[in-house]
Structure 1
Amino acid sequence: MKTYLPIWIALLIAAVAAVFVSESVSPDVRSTMMEEGGWIETASWISYFVAAAFVLIQLMRFPNRWSMLVCTMLLGMRELDFDKRFTTMGIFKSRFYSSSDVPITEKLIALVVTAAVVAALFFLVKHHLKPFFKRVRARSGASCSVFLAGGLMVFAKSIDGLSRKLEPFGIEPSDATNRIVGSVEECFELVAALLIVVGAVGALRLNRSK
């Protein structure tokens, strides 16, 4: 645990620093850093696939971890907007299946993909969730890294589209607030991806020491 704590702190400080830097540079540079397809988002999806590579190595000894590999890759593909890049609209939207604008072939392919995702998630929860929380309670650095990553993902998702979420309450954040919140979201998503890498590397090292 002590080995991981400095890494967690360093990543958090780096994320906060990146937000401050994005506020002090020109709009063009900030756009290059924070907007869709920018440096931060690119680093995020690369990190997920790096983590997936480390999980893939573990499959040679632990084949039942295939669902971890699939879910890690799915996170990377989600960053690349694969759920809507190749189709008329996002495949995880209910309107996708009811809209007449979506070809039937797209719907069939999306159903197969969705079923595969659900199967991987089901296997992950059934076979790995309980042992995972057991390792978190035991303060395993690798598992705690993944746990923290999950917390950051939830937080980043909660502040995504903040203006839209606050609108029913009559609250309208300023443009500056929306900009900063957007930067925080992107940076925390990157930290989450890097924590997944840390967890995957830590698990690989732990397995090799056994």
Structure 2
Amino acid sequence: MSPWTLAQRLAAFVTLPAMILLGVGWFWLDDPALFLKEGHTVETVSVLLLLQGVLCWFAVHGREGWREWQIPALLVLFAAREMDFDKRLTDSGLLKLRTYTGDAPLDDKLLGAGAILFSLLVIWRILRRNAPGWWRALRQGQPYALAILLAAALTVAGKTLDGLGRKLLDFGITLAPHLDARAGQAEEWLELAAWWLLGLSIALLPAARAQGPRAAPTRD
């Protein structure tokens, strides 16, 4: 199979199931308001897209994909965050400062510390091993690199909108409830688009590799 054909098939694998599930979810729910709620269609599709990205990674690299395990690990961490595992495993949440400064059980603190250290290791490996190749590809205008950049921008925008009303209160600004709700809905859509772009960026890797080693992410 040519790299271009593989890239096209993986792109379809990432895109078509998500579109079908979103369409079915929209018409299946009795209350359309649930579409964007936690545990329903958009969140489910978001997790699916991230796991599809993991499958695409190994479809492209095979067993060699384990050498750069930090990439699928990052996607799994994002999926776990989407499913609120950081809140399910402890009473106060693994990402809350009070878990470590308060009276939380020692087991919770150790679990949280381990999760944070693992996340930092994943980020460090990506910055050390993958970021230089991505930067070269971005300067060349490679589609996969542009998709990653856009995904990062959408993720930042989404996190900015998350809890916008609460954040603005710190500056003495009161946001109308309906606007706060709209911001939360926009955040869900932005994250969904970001996860699709990450999966798409991996799907496009075979095409990038076909153009030469400097067009694909490599260890610097």
Same fold (TM over 0.5): yes
| Residue 47 of structure 1: aligned partner | 49
Unaligned runs of 5+ in 1: 12-17
Q: Residue 178 of structure 1 aligns to which amino acid in structure 2? A: D
**Cα distance, 1:112 vs structure 2:** 2.1
Distance 1:103 1:50, change over 3 A: same
Q: Which amino acid aligns with 2:172?
A: G
CA contact (8 A) 2:52 2:199 kept: yes
Pairwise CA distance, 1:70:
0.6
2:91 to 88, 92, 111: 88
Measured in 2, the distance between the counterparts of 1:126 and 1:109 equals: 26
Looking at structure 2, the residues matched to 129 and 105 of structure 1 have their Cα atoms a distance apart, in angstroms, of: 34
Contact 2:42 2:192 in 1 (8 A): yes
TM-score (norm 1): 0.80
User: How far 1:75 sits from its partner (Å)?
Assistant: 0.8
2: CA distance between counterparts of 1:53 and 1:191? 18
TM-score if structure 2 supplies the norm length?
A: 0.77
Between the aligned partners of 2:141 and 2:130, the Cα distance in structure 1 is 16
SS in 2 for 1:93: coil
Alignment check: 8 A CA contact 1:48 1:75 kept: yes
Indicate the RMSD between aligned Cα atoms, in angstroms. 2.6
Counterpart in 2 of 1:97? Answer: 100
The answer to whether 1:28 aligns with 2:24 is no
Count of aligned pairs: 189
| Cα distance in structure 2, aligned partners of 1:75 and 1:141 | 22
- The answer to whether the 8 Å contact 2:58/2:65 transfers is no
1:108-147 to 2 correspondences below 5 Å = 108-147=110-149
Q: Which stretches in structure 2 are left out of the alignment for 5+ residues?
A: 1-6, 16-21, 213-220
CA contact (8 A) 1:162 1:178 kept: yes
Match of 2:204 in 1: 202
**Once the two structures are aligned, what percentage of the paired residues are identical?**
24
